[in-house]
Amino acid sequence: MDKNIRICIVGGGPAGLSAGMYLEQKGYENYTILERLDRVGGKCWSPIMGVPSYYAVEDVEKFCGITHDGPKLNRNYKDANGNVIEPFARTLGNIIRNPWLLKMKKQLKTFGELLETKYKGYDLNGHRGVAEGRYDGYAVTPGRERVQGENPNLKDLALPFSEFCKKNGCELVQKIWIGPFTSFGYGYFDEIPAAYVLKYLDFQTCMNFVKVNLWTWKEGTQYIWEQLNAHLKNPARLNSKIEKVERRDGKVFVTVNGEVEEYDKIIVTAPRRAWSSTSTPATMRRRSSPRSTTSATTCSPSRPSPRITPRSPTMSSTTWCPRSSAI
């Protein structure tokens, strides 16, 4: 493909900025990033943490020459009454008080083995084909290798996470996953499909949370994306209101702040609700066809909107704080 094609990237959040970075690394430098707000970073304008298995974030750090320089974190688990507990300490007293600990440890090992074997392909980015018993995506590895195959067992991922765990005789692992999932407001295990839970918290990511192997950034996670934007050859154009998108004669015409701009390709990384009320994604879809020489890719990696109050499970909440001020 011609390295000089004109590419429009809609959205200056993590996905849009990363798209620009990866294009640039592949030699495609004629790209434009359009951001509706007066800042980049999208939903990452917060002090959220990361873990070593966030390989795409590591790519950005290397590209910018930065690192995770924030405070070390510690974590406390609390029971339904708000009392701080340590459910994973393997001391004799803790095991006596919580006899299920050894059983949970065994189930956790089994669960990890099942995910890697019986449910091979469960953690691929995108979950394409899971409902049909196949997998097609990119591995959760530093190289993000393309992986494809068939595995009928993946259909089990449509079950609520609680039923998925019960089906595999690993009910107690919910006590581990509930901290960084339900307590963070992402939903309840009797409602949320296993595929959704394990997309957010695959096995290696959850183990990083348990081991407190966490990354933070002194200036917050928005610092990552501000730095990436500053290092791109074509930084995002802020305050860009997209009013209309049309396909015509194999090209893409984008009306931005009243001006029409012509592109060869368009990559959409922003949710439609973030577009102008007068934009026309429907028109863009109608004019798209297998014969078209122009492609539109939608990639919206945003996490689900948090629910406010968890349901009081055995370990109902997790407190994260700088180690120097840990309880």
* Helical (H) or strand (E) element with 286: helix 281-286
Q: Are 158 and 89 in a shared domain? A: yes
**pLDDT value at residue 134:** 92
**pLDDT value at residue 92:** 67
Q: Band of the pLDDT at 124, cuts 50, 70, 90?
A: confident
More confident residue, 113 or 175: 113
Closest CA to 207 of 85, 47, 88: 88
pTM for the complete prediction?
A: 0.76
CA angle in degrees (0–180, nearest 5) for 145-149-155: 115
Q: Which residues in the chain belong to E strands, given as ranges?
A: 7-10, 31-34, 73-79, 84-85, 125-128, 134-138, 146-150, 242-248, 251-256, 259-263, 265-268, 296-298, 315-322
| Residue 317 belongs to some domain of the structure | no
For residue 182, count CB atoms less than 10 angstroms from its CB and return exposed for 0-12, middle for 13-18, buried for 19 or more. buried
C-alpha separations of 268 from 39, 144, 297 in Å = 18, 21, 6
Q: Are 53 and 28 in a shared domain? A: yes
- The whole-angstrom separation of Cα 179 and Cα 313 is 10
Per-residue pLDDT averaged across 166-190, rounded? 93
Instruction: List beta partners, residue 215.
Output: 50
Q: Are 89 and 186 in a shared domain? A: yes
**pLDDT value at residue 78:** 74
| Residue 116 belongs to some domain of the structure | yes
**pLDDT value at residue 200:** 87
Q: Are strands 84-85 and 73-79 parallel, antiparallel or unpaired?
A: antiparallel
Domain CATH number, residue 121? 1.10.405.20
In the predicted model, is pLDDT for residue 108 greater than 70?
yes
- The whole-angstrom separation of Cα 274 and Cα 302 is 12
**pLDDT value at residue 204:** 92
The per-residue pLDDT for range 67-100, each reduced to its tens digit, is 999 998 887 777 778 877 776 666 766 667 777 7
Per-residue pLDDT averaged across 8-25, rounded? 96
Residue 267 contacts residue 297 (beta carbons within 8 Å) = yes
Per-residue pLDDT averaged across 6-23, rounded? 97
Q: Are 118 and 206 in a shared domain? A: yes
Lowest mean pLDDT among 99-113, 220-234, 266-280, 282-296: 282-296
Per-residue pLDDT averaged across 244-250, rounded? 94
Closest CA to 161 of 201, 104, 209, 132: 201
| Residue 307 belongs to some domain of the structure | no
Instruction: List beta partners, residue 260.
Output: 255
pLDDT > 70 fraction of the chain, expressed in percent and rounded: 79
- The whole-angstrom separation of Cα 53 and Cα 39 is 27
Which one-letter amino acid corresponds to residue 230? A
| Residue 252 belongs to some domain of the structure | yes
- The whole-angstrom separation of Cα 227 and Cα 212 is 26
Closest CA to 151 of 169, 140, 135, 168: 135
Give the three-state DSSP class for 194: helix
Give the three-state DSSP class for 67: coil
Q: What is the token pair recorded at 146?
A: 């393309």
| Residue 323 belongs to some domain of the structure | no
- Residues sharing a CB contact under 8 Å with residue 47, sequence separation 6 or more, in sequence order: 216, 220, 221
Q: Are 240 and 260 in a shared domain? A: yes
**pLDDT value at residue 114:** 98
Q: Are 259 and 185 in a shared domain? A: no
* Residue 76 backbone dihedrals phi, psi, to 5 degrees: -125, 135
In the predicted model, is pLDDT for residue 144 greater than 70?
yes
Per-residue pLDDT averaged across 92-117, rounded? 85
* Residue 60 backbone dihedrals phi, psi, to 5 degrees: -65, -45
Q: Are 190 and 253 in a shared domain? A: no
Give the three-state DSSP class for 213: coil
| Residue 73 belongs to some domain of the structure | no
State the DSSP code for 44.
G
Residue 65 contacts residue 74 (beta carbons within 8 Å) = no
Per-residue pLDDT averaged across 192-205, rounded? 93
Q: Are strands 7-10 and 265-268 parallel, antiparallel or unpaired?
A: parallel
Domain CATH number, residue 60? 3.50.50.60
In the predicted model, is pLDDT for residue 253 greater than 90?
yes
The per-residue pLDDT for range 268-319, each reduced to its tens digit, is 998 876 665 444 444 444 333 333 333 334 333 333 333 323 333 333 333 3
End-to-end Cα separation, the chain, in angstroms: 56
**pLDDT value at residue 192:** 95
| Residue 77 belongs to some domain of the structure | no
- The whole-angstrom separation of Cα 248 and Cα 9 is 18
Q: Are 279 and 160 in a shared domain? A: no
**pLDDT value at residue 277:** 47
Per-residue pLDDT averaged across 38-44, rounded? 90
Could you tell me the residue range of the domain that residue 162 belongs to?
Answer: 85-213
C-alpha separations of 326 from 8, 29, 182, 323 in Å = 46, 46, 22, 5
**pLDDT value at residue 88:** 66
In the predicted model, is pLDDT for residue 25 greater than 60?
yes
**pLDDT value at residue 90:** 66
